[in-house]
Structure 1
Amino acid sequence: MVQGRRPRRPPLRRVLWGGAEVAVTLGVVLLLLVVHQLWWTNRQARAGAERKVHALEREWEGGGGGGGGDEGGRGAADASPGDDGAVPDDDPAVGDDTPSGSSTSSGSSRASGGRGGAAQPRWDQAYAILDVPRLGLRAPVAQGISKAKVLNRGYVGHYPGTAQPGRAGNFALAGHRNTHGEPFRYINRLRRGDTLTVRTEEATYTYVVDKKVAQTSAGDGGVIGAVPRSRVVPSAGYSEPGYYITLTTCTPEFTSKYRLVVWGKLSRMTPR
């Protein structure tokens, strides 16, 4: 008995079927990308940042010196031009949570931001720990704002050209709000009077939250100036020199259009 051939699908049906298969495949790929960005990068970065915090604490307790050497750190002579505080060229929505256009100079940093005469931290070196009790945050602070070697590792980045912790001027920091550990995701919840501590090998510096800027331009470099003051929101900021800390991140969430800024003032220093 001869079996008949299977009836062929009409051309339109074949096209629709093929389109559906492509759509499902693309949907799966996009889902995997979202999972990678929103879950896997956070998991990896948080775990790595926590290990670095513990490593710094062990080193300081053991008197190892070196200000918390980072296994991925490099000497200043080896720093690439892209790591000197300039805003990276790639899409800041997934990594650059930093205002551009800073007018502070690295020369002024070396003059007023040193750590009691100690050598400056190497580029990308984790050398301090930021504690924010209200947010349950403990994160390593590294020199520079390189995406690949600092921010994407779940670290908080110190803007080159700004003061070091506890020094006169502005200790300015950047961190991701979304993905890659997102240490600064909830800094919008900080209130006036909340405390922030920055621990180094030499001392613990306690800052008190004082002011916030809910939204400013990504290029508002005034917010990280030695006397921080927004160039976009004239009423926001300070008019006198002092001992400041600045936290910056992207806003709204999952975008990089604007920047959210939190300022604080140094209240005390406790030597180790």
Structure 2
Amino acid sequence: MTALRPERESGATYGDAAEQGSSYGQQPYGDFGVWQGQEPGVQWQGAGEYGQQAPQQTYEPQQGYDATAVLPSYGEPRPAPAPAYDEPLPVDDETVALRATDIEEARRAANRAAEAAPAPGGRAARRKAARRHGRRGSGPQTPEKAVEAPAQAPRSRVEARRAARAQKPGAAVVASRVVGELFITTGVMMLLFVTYQLWWSNVRAHQEAGSAAQHLQQDWASGKREPGVFAPGQGFAILHIPKLDVVAPIAEGTSKTKVLDKGMVGHYGEGSLKTAMPSDKTGNFGLAGHRNTHGEPFRYINRLQPGDAIVVETQDEYYVYKMTSMLPVTSPANTSVLDPIPKGSGFTAPGRYITLTTCTPEFTSKYRLIVWGKMVEERPRSKGKPDALIS
């Protein structure tokens, strides 16, 4: 039941008519807290100055009213509480919570600013300030509320099996993985093969060719004699091409595994492709060598120009040739380039010639590149090296 409020009181009993010129709840006020039309000195409870409670006085009814009468159906008259203006206004819980949160946030921001600001007074003072503000775990810390994960209902066996099957990769995924692994493996194998062909094969061939040339020179220096006919794969001379910085041993035969792949130059000395030796008075001294990989001694013979020196060093002599002509491309079956008077060389009469053969284009064996030369000097080793090897 709502309490009575002063502004709704009148000078008449509840339910009776008010004095003439007034109505219920609309009595005009004079001085604050004094009813118009009342006897002087009579005040309603709760009236008075702001911040002060009026003295409680018994209501003195005017003539015609019973002082002991009670309000009908309301029991004893209830004094209305006076407004306490000196007390804080009531606030709801939500506003209080928001204000408390703002205060807490302001306090945290002040703490963070104090931690970030360098403490004056040197390193020791800064350490004390850090410990005072809770750094390194020594100060009061605001505990963070742990976020609890929502509890999940236990799965049934059927659901667990379905989830397990859903996690297993399908056939398409497995096939794509297998194909990807095969591609990766193939790529790695190709990379290793290319590395072997272009780099490691040259390293090994240079080592073997250098060792063979060193053994030849040691045998010649010790006076060890070799027969005029050499076994296949046996080294018997050293080829020098000064312009290309080529120094490679010459072995009998053109076997790929026994001669060419070891970085040596092979002499056409077998079967129908047998050619002359440098010591012969006439003939064509035919040589073959790799252009790429395995030492690649003939890689840059296409750079030779007419007049460039080609020297063959043997146990007793130096044979000096001068480059005369070149056939850039020809078929591998064109063996006429090794004839005593090679076709296409420009030679027309018998003489002492040299022929260098290799593959072309580079990194293929589709065609052959041919270089010819003519002997211009035969110099005994006892007279020292020829000018072509000194300059």
- TM-score of Structure 1 vs Structure 2, range by shorter chain: 0.7 to 0.9
Cα RMSD after superposing both structures: 1.5
Which is bigger in relative contact order (C-alpha 8 A, separation at least 6)? Answer: 1
Task: Tell me if 1:28 matches 2:141.
Answer: no
> Percent same amino acid at aligned positions?
45
Distance change >3 Å, CA 217–CA 237, structure 1 → 2: farther
Letter in 1 for 2:277: Q
TM-score by length of 1: 0.76
Aligned residues: 216
Task: Tell me if 1:258 matches 2:372.
Answer: no
CA distance in 2, matches of 1:124, 1:57: 17
CA distance in 2, matches of 1:21, 1:13: 12
Task: Tell me if 1:163 matches 2:276.
Answer: yes
Question: Would you say the 8 A contact 1:166–1:243 is kept in 2?
Answer: no
Bigger radius of gyration, 1 or 2? 2
Question: Would you say the 8 A contact 1:150–1:157 is kept in 2?
Answer: yes
- Alignment correspondent of 2:212: 52
Aligned 1:68-217 pairs, distance under 5 A: 119-160=228-269, 161-167=274-280, 168-217=282-331
CA distance in 2, matches of 1:224, 1:202: 25
TM-score by length of 2: 0.53
Partner deviation per Cα, 1:71-104 (whole Å, 9 max, x = no partner): xxxxxxxxxxxxxxxxxxxxxxxxxxxxxxxxxx
Please give the secondary structure, in 2, of the residue aligned with 1:120: coil
| Structure 2 unaligned blocks of 5 or more | 1-153, 382-391
| Structure 1 unaligned blocks of 5 or more | 67-117, 231-235
Greater mean alpha carbon deviation, residues 213-222 or residues 159-168: 159-168
1:166 offset after TM fit, Å? 3.8
1:11 offset after TM fit, Å? 2.4
2:199 to 21, 27, 39: 39
CA distance in 2, matches of 1:193, 1:238: 15
Structure with the largest fraction of strand: 1
Please give the secondary structure, in 1, of the residue aligned with 2:343: coil
2:343 to 229, 233, 249: 229
Partner deviation per Cα, 1:54-78 (whole Å, 9 max, x = no partner): 1111111111222xxxxxxxxxxxx
Task: Tell me if 1:240 matches 2:353.
Answer: no
